[in-house]
Structure 1
Amino acid sequence: MNATLHGVRLGLERGLREFRHSLRSSDQFFTLFSSIGFLTVLWFQRDSRVEDTSLTLAALTLPSIIGMSVVFGGLVGPAGQLAVNREDGTLLRAKAVPNGMVGYLVGRVTQTSLDTAFAQLAFLVPGAFLVDVLAGVGAADLLALVAVLLLGMLATLPWGAVIGSIAKSPGSAMGMTMLPIMGVTAISGIFYPITAMPGWLQAVAQVFPMYWAGHGTRWALLPDAAAAAELGGTWRLPLAVVVLGTWAVVGFLVAPTILRRMARRESGSDMESRRQAALQRIS
């Protein structure tokens, strides 16, 4: 078997194994807690009507949260995991074996994708009982949803890896992802229509993947009448593809260079200094 393909196969196996392990660990507490929080939001929004539509605010929020989760997972997951693996020596060990970095990166992508899909299902399944507008969703709509989510993942995964490569610690990686994501989420029409925001904030939101991932998931799951709550009163799927695709292309051009540079600089002494810094933070 080709050595690179062998590394890919090992990475897939590693990603699946680590995902199964995460299902039995306390890591899923955050997923459960987040799902309960989002479902609570839907419960309070279930009777609020959106202006110019016959839909409830909960009907717009549910698919928006699905789009938000793929951006969140694509950025925070790889950034945190890469920072942790640099600190505990996992990355250094991967670097030391043939095609180890290939297997490592494939494993990270596999686990991140599965973690994100699990989090979405944990919210979407019970959410469907609160938001009856999803009852008319068919197979074509679900395929469209999968396509949007895959594009959203491609637009964010490489940037999560970049952040994890330049962060000095897991804590700084979280700070570099969580705080910006919270700010962008607040202006991207996830929990209420973006049309309620000032024009300049609407323009800022449309630069980032968050808004377009939410726009795409709403397009996939909601009826055509829901477009009245969007900017311009219409679905802008071609522009969504362009923006998300641009983030993906630029990310995959930038990330490999930064990852290679980071891997070349990894050494036992660097890992030990990070480990000692981590022990000091704990103590």
Structure 2
Amino acid sequence: MYKKLLILFLCLGTLSITAQIKTPAPSPGSTLTQTVGLTDVALEYSRPAMRGRTIFGDLVPFDKIWRTGANARTKITFSDDVIIDGDTLKKGTYAIFTKPAATAWDVYFYTEYAGSGAPQTLDNSKVALKTSVKTQEIPMDIQSFTITFDDLTDNSGVLGIMWEKTYVGVKFTVPTDAIAAKSIQDVMSGPSANDYHGAASYYRSSGKDLKQALVWSNKATEMNKNAFWMTREKSLIQAALGDKKGAIESAKKSLEVAEKAGNADYIKMNKASIAEWSK
């Protein structure tokens, strides 16, 4: 009986050690996505709360680099290049660091976005862009640290940072007109070489209409004469149609360009096909 009780207590003790206690995070994580014009912007950050504390100038000291949130570094991702304060910020992911002051903040977009906390000193080579913005007073306390996308238009948005009674807005513009113009041009000009090549390759590999596949392949190779992979596909279609002479001619063209490009795989494949079709 004693042994049974001992085993039971040991089992209960093990369960209590391995059990996971769930409690609310003091600074819960937040993910925000927003399309501005035709540009996608994504934000990941944590949201500490005031909890009766004085924030700016105390919990968050003035004139020191702040991670702009809590826990992991706040990260923002732009799908296209954007313009901030007249400077270009390349598309990609950045940490947002700030240096708060009473009347204005410095805002940094930092290429080293992984990790937690802010470095003691920023590496200037990793500062992709820096801007300074004036603070605005909010008439009531914002209890939880908040980042928003405000004042959205087809061509711009404002990255809003607010906590306590302070709001800071970083305006950015997006290349909507350029993206839209390229999209219209691409559609109006018809399929690209890659489109024709993809359709031809699919028809051949799927056993569909090889004559139609050859029509598309001819268009692809005419539009991009240096694409040895497209000419290689044309040779395969010709061989499948029984035109070995044409297949060999296309394979030789593909081989010539592949050799100039130094592509060993296509050099090997073309040589093997030429040897096979020459029998």
Normalised to the residue count of structure 1, the TM-score between the two structures is 0.25
Structure number with higher helix proportion: 1
- Relative contact order (alpha carbons < 8 A, sep ≥ 6): 1 or 2 greater? 1
Structure number with higher strand proportion: 2
